[in-house]
């Protein structure tokens, strides 16, 4: 990445001093994603690579549940979240008491939780999944029914790709729920030949109108593989900027659809976190013991 801003240079130096790595989700802005990240990817890649990491300090340029997941698989390391207010409407849609109530209503049915949940909710679940492995995880259980929390649209998408009965929750992503099939039709009319690639947190009619559906990493893989002349990535819009930096020959068309939580993470906050080793993700030992089990089960599913 050609950018040499003072903030980027300072962060690169601090990473060496602290033996730290920066993990950046695909929705971070290009100066973070290309400027200072050591590990980049979707939620699954970040969880996997956090588990394999040998740095002393992990800085999560993503939202709070991603930093908690990094802590669950690295309980003895310092995990920093540059702005702890970086939440997620899905994670906020369900509480541990809600999960216990679902279990009581469906005795014996296992709970699959999307990683977009708090550690306290994970502690009540049997196994985690991401949008990249949800069908595989559901089918790995070898059961006829599962409770699938918290994203109703992802649950509906999974239900269409498996014979396992899916009992959903009512959570939604505040960014993806706003896309409409009409909007896709307008983009197709305005940009002839555009390839439409959507994230499964979008409503079903949007997924039906898309050419391809996948996690953020699977969406990027599609563009790298197919090299469409122009593409509409139906997701948080910073991701298009990140891929456009890598593939200048592809035209990325998009509305502005920022995730306000992801955008709380900035270069000055990353720098401050590395200088002060705060704010840290701290979880009590009992919660870590319970919540890491579903994450590790997910990581064992290939």
* 83 belongs to the binding site for ligand SF4 (CB under 6 A): no
Q: Tell how strand 230-234 and strand 212-213 pair up.
A: unpaired
Is 128 assigned to a binding site? no
Q: Cis peptide before 240, with omega less than 30 degrees from 0? A: no
Cα distance between residue 85 and residue 73, in whole Å = 21
* 88 belongs to the binding site for ligand SF4 (CB under 6 A): yes
Of 49 and 116, which CB lies nearer to ligand 13P in the complex structure? Answer: 116
Sign of CA dihedral 275, 281, 283, 288: negative
* 89 belongs to the binding site for ligand SF4 (CB under 6 A): yes
* 116 belongs to the binding site for ligand 13P (CB under 6 A): yes
Q: How far is the CB of 171 from ligand SF4 (least distance, A)?
A: 9
Stretch that binds ligand 13P, among 128-136, 158-166, 189-197, 287-295 (CB under 6 A): 128-136
* 40 belongs to the binding site for ligand 13P (CB under 6 A): no
Among 175, 195, 196, 198, binds ligand SF4 (CB under 6 A): 175
Contact 192, 201 (CB under 8 A): no
Strands, E, within the chain: which ranges?
Answer: 20-25, 39-41, 57-61, 78-80, 111-114, 127-129, 145-149, 165-168, 195-198, 212-213, 230-234, 251-252
Query: Could you tell which of ligand SF4, ligand 13P, none binds residue 215, using a CB distance below 5 to 8 A set by kind?
Result: ligand 13P
Is 64 assigned to a binding site? no
Region of residue 108 (left: phi > 0; alpha: psi -120 to 50; beta: else):
left
* 242 belongs to the binding site for ligand 13P (CB under 6 A): no
Q: Could you tell me the CA-to-CA distances from 211 to 197, 203, 237 in Å, in that order?
A: 6, 15, 18
Is 115 assigned to a binding site? yes
Of 26 and 78, which CB lies nearer to ligand 13P in the complex structure? Answer: 26
Count of residues interacting with ligand SF4 (CB under 6 A): 13
Q: Name the burial class of residue 6, with classes exposed (0-12), middle (13-18) and buried (19+) by CB atoms within 10 angstroms of its CB.
A: exposed
Cα distance between residue 31 and residue 97, in whole Å = 40
* 131 belongs to the binding site for ligand 13P (CB under 6 A): yes
Stretch that binds ligand 13P, among 4-12, 30-38, 42-50, 147-155 (CB under 6 A): 42-50
* 151 belongs to the binding site for ligand 13P (CB under 6 A): no
Binding residues for [4Fe-4S] cluster, as ranges, are 88, 173, 259
Binding residues for iminosuccinate, as ranges, are 25, 43, 114-116, 131, 199-201, 216
């Amino acid at each position: 990445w050609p950018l040499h801003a003072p903030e980027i240079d300072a962060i690169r130096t601090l990473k060496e001093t602290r033996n730290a790595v920066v993990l950046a989700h695909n929705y971070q802005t290009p100066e973070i994603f290309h400027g200072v990240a050591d590990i980049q990817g979707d939620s699954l890649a970040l969880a996997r690579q956090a588990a394999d990491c040998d740095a002393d300090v992990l800085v999560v340029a993503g939202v709070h549940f991603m930093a908690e997941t990094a802590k669950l698989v690295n309980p003895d390391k310092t995990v920093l979240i540059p702005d702890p207010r970086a939440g997620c409407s899905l994670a906020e849609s369900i509480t541990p008491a809600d999960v216990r109530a679902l279990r009581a209503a469906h005795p014996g049915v296992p709970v699959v939780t999307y990683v977009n949940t708090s550690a306290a909710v994970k502690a009540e679940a049997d196994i985690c999944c991401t949008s990249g492995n949800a069908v595989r995880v559901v089918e790995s259980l070898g059961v006829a029914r599962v409770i699938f929390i918290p994203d109703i649209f992802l649950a509906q998408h999974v239900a269409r790709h498996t014979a396992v009965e899916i009992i959903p929750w009512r959570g939604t992503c505040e960014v993806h729920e706003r896309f409409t099939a009409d909007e896709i039709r307008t983009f197709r009319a305005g940009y002839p030949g555009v390839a439409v690639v959507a994230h499964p947190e979008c409503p079903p009619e949007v997924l039906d109108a898309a050419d391809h559906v996948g996690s953020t990493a699977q969406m990027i893989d599609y563009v790298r593989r197919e090299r469409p002349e122009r593409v509409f990535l139906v997701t948080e819009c910073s991701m298009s900027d990140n891929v456009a930096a890598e593939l200048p020959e592809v035209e990325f068309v998009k509305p502005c659809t920022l995730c306000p939580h992801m955008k709380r993470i900035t270069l000055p906050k990353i720098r401050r976190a590395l200088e002060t080793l705060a704010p840290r993700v701290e979880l009590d030992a009992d919660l870590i013991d319970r919540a890491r089990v579903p994450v590790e089960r997910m990581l064992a599913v290939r």
